[in-house]
A = this chain, B = another copy of it.
Amino acid sequence: MDFAISINPQAALPLHRQVYEELRWGILSGRLTPGQKLPSTRMLAQSLSISRATVTLSYEQLLSEGYLETIVGSGTFVCRQIPDDLLNTAPIESKLQPTTTSISLSAYGQILSDKAFLRLPEAELEINFNYGRPAFDKFPIDLWRQLLARHCRPNSNVLDYTIYSMGYQPLREAIATYLTRSRAVKCSAEQIIIVGGSQQGLDLITRLFINRGDGIALEEPGYLGARRAFLAQGASLCPVPVDTSGLIVSHLTTGIIPNIKLVYVTPSHQFPTGGVLSLPRRLELLAWAQKSGVMIIEDDYDSEYRYGERPIPALQGLDQGNCVIYLGTFSKVLFPALRLGYLVVPDDLVSIFARAKWLADRQCSLLEQYALTDFITEGHLERHIRRMRSLYNQRRQTLVQSLLSHFGDRVTILGENAGMHLMIKIHTHLNDDEIIQRAALAGVSMVAAYPNYLKTSPGSEFILGYAELNESQISEGVRRLAQIVSHLPQPRQTK
């Protein structure tokens, strides 16, 4: 019998009862299987250092209850016909799992039980224009390994809880310095909360500000991951249209929108259309938010990448009313599997966010925070951004040129000269899903823009990520896409 049993001579329960309980438990839990032979009373008594009479007493009780059976000349066995209907001996594979229909989910759980709410991703194809992914092969992974190894050493402090849930203090300082210099964010290290990527940042903000039914204004179209977090929390969403200068703020300020608590914006590079929120609109938005007691979430997800231009200063730096929460991530500039991002929150919200972070998952992985600190303070981050800016600029130009040469006037390219993706409108009679399906057959995946619309999408819009693809992949991918469209008559342009 490879099933050891535990007894405690100091316990109040008599020893024979303990042995009985342990064996019965072993049978009920399936660790002792029907027909399995038990050790002799002598052997078990010896191995447990208790008297043989004690073991005999236990065995007799189990025999009388039908858990064990004796086969003369052979020994004692777990009964093949266990009487207890609680017993579950079927192997997992064949076990009929009863559904937990009687369980009632929370309102949050019910929203998440809808399969359409968040679909699992599709398999990848030969050429992926899926957005949000950097050039993995250009990340200095050897350097990253060295930085990890530097801190993953005996007597380092990477194993323990941090004192505060807001994150590793030198990392908070490095991020504050970086943001002040490169993004004109006005903050001290004390305002930085390290979070597990921007999704966690969005989730924490939503939980802290939104009761069911509270309003959130957001860009239309806008980032789906944010919208999901808002909807799951039961927010009432108020889509505000965008144009080439970003959110049309006058729709907010002149419209009558009840009970708005948050406004979600991507001012540096509107997702997915690519516009940059103009200065007059920034000032208008800030003034309105301050007056209305509304918090602005500034999601600065890929602001590092502007080609031939300096990054645009953050909205947060213009704020004088403490009504902006700034959100950034290292998923785009380093790599997505590094689950580290940050919030910059007004001073008087820091401790509340710290508690929310503690409750959510206590803190982020410490070793990666150490490595990231060095990556920033030793200049690797800005160097890497400069390199990627140049690379992505080339890739973007290749994409634009390929689109123009293969599609001609069948395509309109939207968005600023920035970021890691662009949006296109294809002039075609095919509907979006047909194009996606035909592209997939040609080994090309891309994402339609329509899921990012809360209301009806104008259609025929697609988001093309280019950061991960080399120039020949880009031009080949566009060639295949153009073939799909060119086989079909071009629609009359209505404008």
Q: A136-B159, A184-B30, A352-B113 are in contact. Are A6 and B306 (CB under 8 A)?
A: yes
Q: A115-B351, A136-B160, A337-B161 are in contact. Are A211 and B107 (CB under 8 A)?
A: yes
> Which residues of A in the span 127-186 have a Cβ within 8 Å of any Cβ on B?
133, 136-137, 139, 141-142, 144-145, 148-149, 152-156, 158-164, 184, 186
Complexed CA–CA distance, A449 and B160 (Å) = 22
- The answer to whether the Cβ of A288 comes within 8 Å of any Cβ in the partner chain is no
Question: What is the minimal beta-carbon distance from A87 to any residue of chain B, in angstroms?
Answer: 9
Contacting residues, chain B, for A88 (C-beta < 8 A): 186, 318, 320
Residue of B nearest to A290 (CB): B102
Determine which residue in A118, A195, A352 has the highest number of CB atoms from chain B within 10 A of its CB, and name it: A352
> Which residues of A in the span 363-400 have a Cβ within 8 Å of any Cβ on B?
363-368
Contacting residues, chain B, for A121 (C-beta < 8 A): 163
Question: What is the minimal beta-carbon distance from A219 to any residue of chain B, in angstroms?
Answer: 19
Q: Interface with B: A54-62, A201-209, A480-488, which one? A: A201-209
Question: What is the minimal beta-carbon distance from A131 to any residue of chain B, in angstroms?
Answer: 12
- The answer to whether the Cβ of A36 comes within 8 Å of any Cβ in the partner chain is no
Question: What is the minimal beta-carbon distance from A114 to any residue of chain B, in angstroms?
Answer: 9
- Please tell me if the beta carbons of B188 and A159 are within 8 angstroms of each other in the complex: no
- Please tell me if the beta carbons of A8 and B322 are within 8 angstroms of each other in the complex: no
Instruction: Give this chain's copy count.
Output: 2
- The answer to whether the Cβ of A416 comes within 8 Å of any Cβ in the partner chain is yes
> Which residues of A in the span 251-283 have a Cβ within 8 Å of any Cβ on B?
261, 278-279, 283
- Please tell me if the beta carbons of B355 and A159 are within 8 angstroms of each other in the complex: no
Residue of B nearest to A31 (CB): B184
Contacting residues, chain B, for A306 (C-beta < 8 A): 6
Contacting residues, chain B, for A241 (C-beta < 8 A): none
Q: Interface with B: A341-349, A427-435, A436-444, A453-461, which one? A: A341-349
- Please tell me if the beta carbons of B368 and A365 are within 8 angstroms of each other in the complex: yes
Question: What is the minimal beta-carbon distance from A179 to any residue of chain B, in angstroms?
Answer: 12
Partner of A184, one of B29, B145, B149: B29
Instruction: State the majority secondary structure of interface residues on A.
Output: loop
Contacting residues, chain B, for A261 (C-beta < 8 A): 104
> Which residues of A in the span 295-349 have a Cβ within 8 Å of any Cβ on B?
295, 306, 308-310, 312-313, 317-318, 320-323, 335-339, 346-349
Contacting residues, chain B, for A97 (C-beta < 8 A): 322, 346-348
- The answer to whether the Cβ of A98 comes within 8 Å of any Cβ in the partner chain is yes
Chain A positions within 8 Å of B, measured between CB atoms, are 4-8, 12, 21, 24-26, 28-31, 86, 88, 92, 95, 97-100, 102-109, 112-113, 115, 117-118, 120-121, 133, 136-137, 139, 141-142, 144-145, 148-149, 152-156, 158-164, 184, 186-188, 195-197, 199-200, 203, 207-211, 214, 228-229, 232, 244, 261, 278-279, 283, 293, 295, 306, 308-310, 312-313, 317-318, 320-323, 335-339, 346-349, 351-352, 354-356, 358-368, 416-417
Pairs across A and B, CB under 8 Å, 27 listed: A4-B309, A4-B310, A29-B317, A31-B184, A86-B283, A92-B187, A95-B186, A97-B322, A98-B320, A98-B322, A105-B209, A105-B352, A106-B211, A108-B356, A118-B355, A120-B163, A141-B153, A148-B148, A159-B337, A162-B337, A196-B196, A196-B361, A197-B362, A228-B359, A360-B361, A365-B368, A367-B368
